[in-house]
Every structure is written in C-alpha cells, then in structure tokens.
C-alpha cells in the first residue's frame, strides 16, 4: 500500500517570512545571526553549512545586512574580505564579529555559539593608528587628494570612467563647477582600497554630491548611465574629443573648427582658410605615433638616451624621471624628465645643449624650446594652475625598436622599426629642484589639492617654484619633496601613491 511520508511539523517563526531568512528550523540562539561569505567557500558548501547550522538552531541569513552579528568566511585573504565588507555599505560593520571558519566548526561541534577567541578573528589589515588617535580616523577619507594614498590600482573604474566623460563634457561647455566636482569625486573613488558595491557605502565619503550619487546609483542598478551614454553618442562631444586629441589643439580651437561645420581631420586639412601652427602641423604629421600610449619600457629606453646626452654634456647634471611614469603608471601620453646642474645657473644652457645633441643623433623630430622666464622677485604667484617659468622643451623623439626591452608599442603591421614619442624636459635651477619635481610628478588632481590645502588650511602659497608662508611672510626652503610635505604639515605621500 502507498503510505504518505511522515513530514515533521516544525514551528514556523513569524519573522521568517522575510526573504533570505530561514523558514523551517527552530531557533535556539536568538542573539546570534550568522552570515556565511560565499567567496572561496563556494555556493554548494555554503548551502550545506547553512543547513547544518540551521538544523542546530542557529539563525543564518542569506543576505548580509546590519542585523548580522557574525560574519564567517573561509577566505584566508583578510585584505580582500575586508575590502569587500567595506564596500557593502554596512553601518554596523564595526560591531560585527568577522570570523574564520574555525569558529563556525567549533560552534557546530559544541552545538552552541562558542566564545570568540582571538584565533577566530579575521583582522582588518588597515594600518593600526598611533595611540590616542580617534578610532574613526582610519575610516575618514580626506577631501584633499594630498591626504589620501592613491595607487594605480583603481577599484572603482566603472564609476570613475563615467565621471571622466561627464567632467570632460562640462569642460567642453566651459562649465567649471560641475567639471571640477566630477574630477574630485573620481579622485576620491580612486583612492578607495575597495569597490563601492552599494550607495550606502559612500555615505561617509567627501566630495560626492547628489548628481554624482545619482550617476553611481544608475551604474550600480543598470551597469551604465544614460547621461554618459548620451554624451558619448553626441556629435559635438565626439568631434571636440577627436580634435583635441591632436597635439597643439586645445578646446578653444576645437570649438572654433566645430562651429565652422568641420567634423573630421580631412575636413580640416581640406579647408584652405585654416592656418595650422607648427605644433598642430606636427600633431597631424605624427598623429598615429603620439596618440598611441607610451609603454614603461619605452619610457625607460628614452631615459637611457637622455641620460647619455645629459652626462656627455655635464657630468654633474641631475636627471630625474617624473610625471606619470614616476608614479608607477604602465602607460603614458608622454615621458617627462627634469634636468638640472649642481652649479646654479648652469642649467640655463643645459637644455639647449641636450637638444643639440639629440639633433646631432638624428632623433629630434620636433622641438619647441621655451627659455626660462623665472624671476624669483616675481614670487609668490597668486595664480592657481599657472604654468611654471622654468626653461623647458616639448619634443618628439625618434625611438628605435632595438633600444626597447620587449620591443615598441606599435600597431600590428607597422614595419618601420621605430616610432615617435612625446618627451618633455624641464630645467629648474637646482635650488628649485624639489618644488619642480613635486609639481611635475603630478597627478594633476594631486597638485590641485596640494595647492588648495596649502592655501585653505595653512595660509601658504605653493607652486612649481616655491612655498610661501603668508603669515610669516617668508619663503620656505626645501631640498627634497619630504621637506615640502613637512612644511605643509602633511604626511609624506610616495610618488606611486599620488595617482589621484
């Protein structure tokens, strides 16, 4: 005879109807609410362990919320676990026990939640604070990029790419406020060692306004932003983007050409009334090469070439790689160097001698030399983002494939065996070296915030030449970047942490 299976009737809890909360087993430990992290554990093991714990009277939530008291993980990489937890937007995270699976197995063995011992804890890997500092200091993100450490690893690229498009579009419309706002927001997100997984996680972050958050919410929900997509498909944006990608063409010129109905490079080159300046002619001539990223190996090869030239001229010259490559970037749009001579005044002729030598080697494809207009008596400068006054040159150099470790970064099918690369050389007097190095290392956003910090927090004026204390009415001397950070009362930030 067919017999109906005997199903035990279990007491159902009224709260258990909520999604993600266990339905069947009797709860024995009301005060303990577990969450098992799926990463490393895997879905099927997580589901097995969940059933096991529930059968022993534990509450196990499927969803991580502020109600959870114990987070259990099999991920032995504390940093990635904490990075993920920090991105979950929990308010109660500081109160949660974040535990290794050993606490879970001990508790299952004992049939009750065992006391948490230090061996069970998965410690956050954030650096410990000096004694006496408030416990929130670690979590606080400064509004100034010069008080944040930003490596080239960007955990929030989906947002920062979108912000960059928005910032650029506002820049094309000469709308400075929102442009800067999106640049600042992008910079804050770049500094986070974790990825933002929900909007709640951004609550304590500075520089994120309503507009920024709305864009982030759209990206979190749909993976894209309609405003960004409409900009990207906008003809004016596309054209201005194309035109400004030419060396020597800024937003103003691009706009002028756009207004005249020009839409492509061939439109410009076919227009008889357009007079290209020398820089723009070069820009079109070498467009393929200089719009192509420069690799780290290519930057190193150019470093060797410049080094040879500099030291053949002055044995006591100082040469330093600066710009993005000094910050550890893998690719750049150019390679930036600072050269100076130990003997004050000698730097003046140094650049022209280097240029001569490069020309002599037959590798100088383009050179725009700007003599020094530096005059210490005209300092301090109150102009924000003012160009510096040091002697400098903007070059295009011919780089041979044979000189580059691993070969050139060129298009497939390019059989020339060489490419053109943009190189900038700047030559400050040696007593201005630290300021020039700090200014040229960037990033642009890091520099902006260094100046803003100096002005607003310290009543000091900083630029590529000097630091001026307005209260004391004096210039502050520096021989290293560390001196400058110390004058500003800032913790030293390494070049590779300045990718703001």
**Chain contacts with ligand UTP (rule: CB under 6 A):** 323-324, 329, 332-334, 336, 387-388, 439-440, 442-444, 447, 464
Q: What residue spans of 265-384 are helical by DSSP H?
A: 265-270, 278-285, 287-290, 296-313, 323-326, 347-360
Q: Is 336 annotated in the active site?
A: yes
* Closer of 460 and 462 to ligand UTP (Cβ): 462
* Closer of 82 and 435 to Mn ion (Cβ): 435
Q: Which entry of 61, 106, 336, 388 is annotated as an active-site residue?
A: 336
The whole-angstrom separation of Cα 145 and Cα 493 is 10
DSSP state of 3: -
Q: Which entry of 424, 431, 469, 483 is annotated as an active-site residue?
A: 424
Closest distance of CB 115 from ligand UTP, Å: 52
Q: Is 106 annotated in the active site?
A: no
Which of ligand UTP, Mn ion, none sits in contact with 440, Cβ below 5 to 8 A by type? ligand UTP
Helix H or strand E encompassing 213? helix 210-222
Of 102, 97, 105, nearest to 119 by C-alpha is 102
Q: Which tokens go with 108?
A: 């299952």
* Closer of 205 and 438 to ligand UTP (Cβ): 438
Crossing angle (nearest 10°) for helices 157-172 and 235-244: 90
Closest distance of CB 397 from ligand UTP, Å: 15
Q: Which entry of 61, 106, 334, 388 is annotated as an active-site residue?
A: 334
The whole-angstrom separation of Cα 297 and Cα 287 is 21
The whole-angstrom separation of Cα 366 and Cα 54 is 73
Closest distance of CB 427 from ligand UTP, Å: 12
* Closer of 33 and 326 to ligand UTP (Cβ): 326
Which of Mn ion, ligand UTP, none sits in contact with 463, Cβ below 5 to 8 A by type? none
Which of Mn ion, ligand UTP, none sits in contact with 444, Cβ below 5 to 8 A by type? ligand UTP
The whole-angstrom separation of Cα 260 and Cα 241 is 16
Which of Mn ion, ligand UTP, none sits in contact with 103, Cβ below 5 to 8 A by type? none
Asked if 35 and 69 count as a contact pair (C-beta separation under 8 A), the reply is no
Residue nearest to Mn ion (CB): 323
Which residues lie near Mn ion (CB under 5 A)?
A: 323-324, 332, 334, 336
* Closer of 84 and 496 to ligand UTP (Cβ): 496
Which of Mn ion, ligand UTP, none sits in contact with 74, Cβ below 5 to 8 A by type? none
Closest distance of CB 337 from Mn ion, Å: 10
The whole-angstrom separation of Cα 336 and Cα 464 is 15
What is the dihedral sign for C-alpha 238, 243, 244, 245? positive
What ranges make up the beta strands (E) of 189-299? 294-295
Closest distance of CB 369 from Mn ion, Å: 18
Which of Mn ion, ligand UTP, none sits in contact with 447, Cβ below 5 to 8 A by type? ligand UTP
Q: Classify 36 as helix, strand or coil.
A: strand
Of 131, 133, 150, nearest to 141 by C-alpha is 150
Closest distance of CB 336 from Mn ion, Å: 4
Q: Does 66 belong to an annotated binding site?
A: no
Of 68, 53, 41, nearest to 107 by C-alpha is 53
* Closer of 283 and 439 to ligand UTP (Cβ): 439
The CA–CA distances, whole Å, from 1 to 4, 8 equal 10, 21
Pairing state of beta strands 59-61 and 33-36? parallel
The whole-angstrom separation of Cα 397 and Cα 107 is 68
Q: Does 336 belong to an annotated binding site?
A: yes
Closest distance of CB 411 from ligand UTP, Å: 19
The whole-angstrom separation of Cα 481 and Cα 491 is 11
Q: Is 424 annotated in the active site?
A: yes
Length of the chain: 500
Q: Does 124 belong to an annotated binding site?
A: no
* Closer of 215 and 478 to ligand UTP (Cβ): 478
Binding residues for Mg(2+): 334, 336, 424
Binding residues: 334, 336, 424
* Catalytic site positions: 334, 336, 424
């Amino acid at each position: 005879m067919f017999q109906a299976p005997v199903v035990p009737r279990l007491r159902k809890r009224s709260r258990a109807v909520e999604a993600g909360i266990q339905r069947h087993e009797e709860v024995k430990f009301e005060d303990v609410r577990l969450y098992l992290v799926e990463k490393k554990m895997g879905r099927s093991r997580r589901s097995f362990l969940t059933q096991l714990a529930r059968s022993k009277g534990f509450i196990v939530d499927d969803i991580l919320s502020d109600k959870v008291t114990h987070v259990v993980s099999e991920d032995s990489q504390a940093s990635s676990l904490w990075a993920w937890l920090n991105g979950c937007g929990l308010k109660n995270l500081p109160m949660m026990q974040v535990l290794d699976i050993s606490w879970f197995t001990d508790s299952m063995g004992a049939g009750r939640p065992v006391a948490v011992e230090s061996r069970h804890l998965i410690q956050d890997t954030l650096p410990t604070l000096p004694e006496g500092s408030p416990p929130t200091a670690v979590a606080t993100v400064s509004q100034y990029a010069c008080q944040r450490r930003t490596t080239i690893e960007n955990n929030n690229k989906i947002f920062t790419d979108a912000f960059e498009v928005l910032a650029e579009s506002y820049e094309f419309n000469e709308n400075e406020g929102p442009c800067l706002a999106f640049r600042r927001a992008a910079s804050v997100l770049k500094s986070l060692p974790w990825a933002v997984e929900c909007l709640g996680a951004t609550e304590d972050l500075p520089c994120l306004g309503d507009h920024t958050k709305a864009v982030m919410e759209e990206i979190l929900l749909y993976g894209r932003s309609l405003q960004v997509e409409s900009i990207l498909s906008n003809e004016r944006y596309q054209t201005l983007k194309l035109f400004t990608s030419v060396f020597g063409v800024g937003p103003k010129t691009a706009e002028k050409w756009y207004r005249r109905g020009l839409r492509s490079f061939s439109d410009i080159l076919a227009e008889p009334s357009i007079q290209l300046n020398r820089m723009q002619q070069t820009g079109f001539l070498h467009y393929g090469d200089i719009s192509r990223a420069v690799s780290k190996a290519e930057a190193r090869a150019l470093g060797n070439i410049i080094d040879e030239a500099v030291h053949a001229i002055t044995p006591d010259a100082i040469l330093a790689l600066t710009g993005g490559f000094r910050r550890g970037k893998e690719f750049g749009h150019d390679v930036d160097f600072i050269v100076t001579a130990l003997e004050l005044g000698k730097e003046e002729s140094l650049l022209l001698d280097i240029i001569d030598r490069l020309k002599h080697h037959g590798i100088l494809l383009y050179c725009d030399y700007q003599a020094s207009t530096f005059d210490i008596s005209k300092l301090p400068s109150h102009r924000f983002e003012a160009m510096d006054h040091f002697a400098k040159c903007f070059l295009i150099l011919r780089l041979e494939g044979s000189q580059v470790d691993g070969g050139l970064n060129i298009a497939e099918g390019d059989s020339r065996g060489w490419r053109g690369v943009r190189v900038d050389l700047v030559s400050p007097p040696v007593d201005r070296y630290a300021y020039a190095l700090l200014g040229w290392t960037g990033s642009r956003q890091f520099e902006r915030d260094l100046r803003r910090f100096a002005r607003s927090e310290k009543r000091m004026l900083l630029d590529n030449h000097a630091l001026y204390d307005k209260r004391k009415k004096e210039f502050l001397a520096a021989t290293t970047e560390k001196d400058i950070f110390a004058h500003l009362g800032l913790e030293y930030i390494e070049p590779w942490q300045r990718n703001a």
